[in-house]
Chains A and B, each alone.
Chain A
Amino acid sequence: MTELSNKTIINVILALMIVSLCPGCQDPKTNTGSAKPAKQRLESNEVPTIDASNASSPVISVIVPPETDHKNNSDFLLLATRDPKSNELLPVHGIYRRTDGLVSFTPSFPLLPNRDYEAVNLLTNQSSSYRWNSTNGRVPVLSISPSHGMLPANHLKFYLSFSEPMQQDNPWEHCKLLDITTGHFVPRPFRHTELWNRTGDRLTLWFHPGRQKTGVNLNVEIGPILEPDHEYQLIINAHWCSLAGSAVGKETKLNFVAGQPDHFQPDPELWDLAVPSADTLEPLTIRFHEPLDYALLNNRALNVFLSKVPLESRQEVSQNGLGIRITPQKPWVAGDYDIQINPRLEDLAGNSIERPFEVDLNKETEDHSKAQQITFTIDP
């Protein structure tokens, strides 16, 4: 008993000495990893020792008595998280190894920063805490497109663009739609399908299509999401975190009024072109007659050709999808140019160059497709 107490005291002293060398540690029992962690080894068979050379993947060890060969390695040592509600320890998965009277454990997955773990010697029930700290990344900045003051009542989607890759699960839980006119939040307005871009920094947030599409059961039963002439506020909460752990930090609000539903297709023949002069690097400026889909426009929806040779150019889409500026890499030469248009280019209500979002089959007697090519001339 005396020997055990002495060992415990020695261990505590050793632990305190090591912890005192580790800046920023508050809890004397916490082993803390850092970018350049000290190698920690407590010569004891009671408190698990933690080698935090690799802070996210520490090696945790206990010394085991020789007469315990028949036991499983997992009978000696456990790394766990503690459930704050039930206070139970839940095992972290890892790989066990046994060499020279030592059982060691390495987690199968990197441990998360800024989170508490507990290593338990299951023979003695002694434990030591582990935590490694990392600074959170930059605060994400959010912008929403489109951001017009008026949107058609059959508007389909918003693009939420962040400056950082974001945590992605159930994004609609961060979003609400307030009907300012009635003072009530619109119940479940968003499509519950996670549509992130490949870099994880842009979410396509759809209104529920079953309510926006004419004749679909939800549209018939409970009506569309937006009522014409009502004022709305799209609200994105402040708690949404980046993958690096930083929250947006402030609520983002977008106000708009719902106009009449838009069932008309974009028509390139109605677009206004400001044609540049020859031998200049002035942009070709195209102004659409209605806002078009910002993401589709940015995906090279328009391509300029001179005598069937593609023009090397830089394209800038206006934030609200009302226009585009096409600047050539080399000065314009005189000639007749074609602009090829992706037939899938849509307006805000999903009507594309190719076809309306909703085709009324009772009236389907014509080819819906609008011009997929327009021309302009640069004079000598």
Chain B
Amino acid sequence: MKRLTFFGSCLTALLAVTVYFLQAPSADALTKDSVAIMANVQEGDTDISRIGRMSFAPNGVLLVADIGSASIVAIDTGDAGPVKKLKERVNDVDKKIGAALGTDKEGIRIADMAVNPASGKIYVSVQRKADGLNAIIIFDEKGTLSPLDLKKARYVRVSLPVADQKTISNISGVEFSNGRVLAAGQSNEEFSSKIYSLPLPLTHGKSGEVYSTETYHVAHGRWETRAPIQSFIPYEEEGEDYIVGSFACTPIAKFKISDIKKDAPIKGTSVVELGSGNRPMDMFTYEKNGKKWLITNTDRFHHERRPLGPSQYWGVRVDMSYLQADKINEEAVRRVITEKSGPNGIEVVDALFFAKHVAKLNNDEMVILRDNKGALDLEISKLPE
């Protein structure tokens, strides 16, 4: 009996140790190819001062732009799946988030939405206007909301370069790319933006380094001015890494990352013009039937004067082969603004009318935060074939 008890205790201890090591979080969040995403991971209050854009890196690491401190916060959400996508539309999301935060829908600013492709869960970054409180609200497959605990998180914070911190007052995008995290920052004193590269692993306490650059835009082949990037995605073409960015009034331009040198200006190559009077919002790519497409949604600020459809919020898909086009800048292809599609490979996407935020779920579906007569609904929508 005694022997059995001893054996039983040993077995229990072994089991406990095994379970501990199976459950214990690793020191760093790792990518699938075991390249660490985070190092010197902190536990506690993320202390985000003004929350902004978000996107997911691998392994449930959420990249969050903290506009107020000109830094990127990477949070290990522990949300590793499996995929359980939203089952049905959630109505009045803004009202529900507002109430969850102890206010109403007018009392919040929804900054962005991101979807964890590993779990299908939807993350909404939000700020309470009255006191500037920041939160990230998660919607699960049942549409139940819960806040991500930003006070007790595993996270790292990486600042954008010190020299720019005082003047960077908007971070218009943050994206995981090949071996790095990219961020685009806009200045509050100059009409310009810079692209920052944050090398992996994102190390708490370090600041962005490697390079920063201004971005330029050429109009009518003649007038060259600085131009801030509104949204961007990383993109690979024939082994080269690019940034595909969208400017206000919607030229889509690409920048070769290897061209970007520290403190040296770079001119993007405009490849597609979507038309004036629009402010780009989100961007992603997907593959369908062997073809690659770029999706972007925009806010048409001249909707009342010259509407394109039923809503100021609309979106388009662009055949990615246009990004490799020979015709660039002034000769870049222009969307036929009087038609729903055209030229071939550029199409208005009906599902994106009224879409205030959009994020990719997989190659078949996207998640849309949709304006519904002043309310916001959350839903999954099919991507065009």
Are A and B interaction partners?
A: yes
Q: Known contacts A209-B191, A299-B166: does B225 contact A90 (CB below 8 Å)?
A: no
| Measured CA separation A226–B242 after assembly (Å) | 38
Contact B130 A167 (CB under 8 A): yes
**Which residues between 167 and 225 of chain A lie within 8 Å of chain B, taking CB atoms?**
167-170, 187-188, 191-198, 200, 202, 204, 206, 209-210, 213-218, 220-222
Residue of A with least CB distance to B227: A209
**Which residues between 318 and 367 of chain A lie within 8 Å of chain B, taking CB atoms?**
344, 346, 350, 352, 357-362
Q: Known contacts A195-B186, A196-B169: does B99 contact A90 (CB below 8 Å)?
A: yes
Contact B188 A359 (CB under 8 A): no
8 Å CB contact of B248 from A165, A188, A209, A293: A209
Contact A346 B104 (CB under 8 A): no
**Which residues between 185 and 234 of chain B lie within 8 Å of chain A, taking CB atoms?**
186-191, 218-225, 228
Contact B222 A195 (CB under 8 A): no
B161 vs chain A, min Cβ distance (A):
15
Residue of B with least CB distance to A114: B130
B256 within 8 A of A: no
A80 within 8 A of B: yes
Contact A195 B188 (CB under 8 A): yes
Q: Which residues does chain A contribute within 8 Å of B362, judged by CB atoms?
A: none
B29 within 8 A of A: no
B96 within 8 A of A: yes
A278 within 8 A of B: no
8 Å CB contact of B191 from A80, A115, A156, A220: A156
Q: Known contacts A93-B145, A109-B101, A192-B301: does B131 contact A361 (CB below 8 Å)?
A: no
8 Å CB contact of B50 from A168, A170, A360: A168
| Measured CA separation A81–B133 after assembly (Å) | 18
| Measured CA separation A115–B276 after assembly (Å) | 43
Contact B190 A296 (CB under 8 A): yes
Q: Which residues does chain B contribute within 8 Å of A28, judged by CB atoms?
A: none
Contact A357 B102 (CB under 8 A): no
| Measured CA separation A52–B98 after assembly (Å) | 22
B110 vs chain A, min Cβ distance (A):
10
Contact A112 B169 (CB under 8 A): no
Contact B130 A245 (CB under 8 A): yes
A42 within 8 A of B: no
Q: Known contacts A198-B166, A296-B190: does B135 contact A361 (CB below 8 Å)?
A: no
A108 within 8 A of B: yes
Contact A198 B276 (CB under 8 A): no
Contact A109 B224 (CB under 8 A): no
Contact B249 A217 (CB under 8 A): yes
Q: Which residues does chain B contribute within 8 Å of A204, judged by CB atoms?
A: 169, 188-189
Q: Which of A92, A110, A217, A221 has the most CB of B within 10 A?
A: A217
A83 within 8 A of B: yes
Q: Which residues does chain B contribute within 8 Å of A101, judged by CB atoms?
A: none
| Measured CA separation A197–B49 after assembly (Å) | 12
Contact A198 B70 (CB under 8 A): yes
**Which residues between 111 and 158 of chain B lie within 8 Å of chain A, taking CB atoms?**
127-133, 135, 145-147
Size bracket of the A interface: 35 or more
Contact with B along A143-161 (1 / 0, CB 8 A): 0000000000000110000
Q: Which residues does chain A contribute within 8 Å of B225, judged by CB atoms?
A: 209, 213, 216, 357-359
A-B contact count (CB 8 A): 169
B95 within 8 A of A: yes
Q: Which residues does chain B contribute within 8 Å of A170, judged by CB atoms?
A: 109
| Measured CA separation A197–B276 after assembly (Å) | 29
| Measured CA separation A86–B222 after assembly (Å) | 56
Q: Which of B69, B70, B101, B145 has the most CB of A within 10 A?
A: B101
Contact with B along A209-249 (1 / 0, CB 8 A): 11001111110111000000000000000000101010000
Contact with A along B299-318 (1 / 0, CB 8 A): 10110010000000000000
Residue of A with least CB distance to B95: A90
Q: Which residues does chain B contribute within 8 Å of A197, judged by CB atoms?
A: 166, 169, 188
8 Å CB contact of B223 from A165, A245, A360: A360
Q: Which residues does chain A contribute within 8 Å of B133, judged by CB atoms?
A: 109-110
| Measured CA separation A357–B360 after assembly (Å) | 37
| Measured CA separation A115–B131 after assembly (Å) | 13
Contact A91 B100 (CB under 8 A): yes
A111 within 8 A of B: yes
| Measured CA separation A241–B129 after assembly (Å) | 10
Contact A195 B169 (CB under 8 A): yes
Q: Known contacts A168-B109, A169-B129, A210-B276: does B189 contact A362 (CB below 8 Å)?
A: no
A117 within 8 A of B: yes
Can you spell out 22 A-B residue pairs with CB atoms less than 8 angstroms apart? A81-B103, A110-B102, A110-B131, A112-B107, A165-B132, A168-B129, A170-B109, A191-B248, A193-B172, A195-B169, A195-B186, A197-B166, A204-B189, A209-B225, A213-B219, A215-B220, A217-B219, A217-B277, A344-B190, A346-B190, A357-B191, A359-B224
> Which 3 residue pairs across A and B have the least CB separation, nearest first?
A90-B99, A217-B276, A93-B100
Instruction: Knowing that A92-B100, A344-B190 touch, tell me 5 more A-B residue pairs with CB under 8 angstroms.
Output: A90-B95, A109-B101, A217-B249, A245-B130, A361-B224
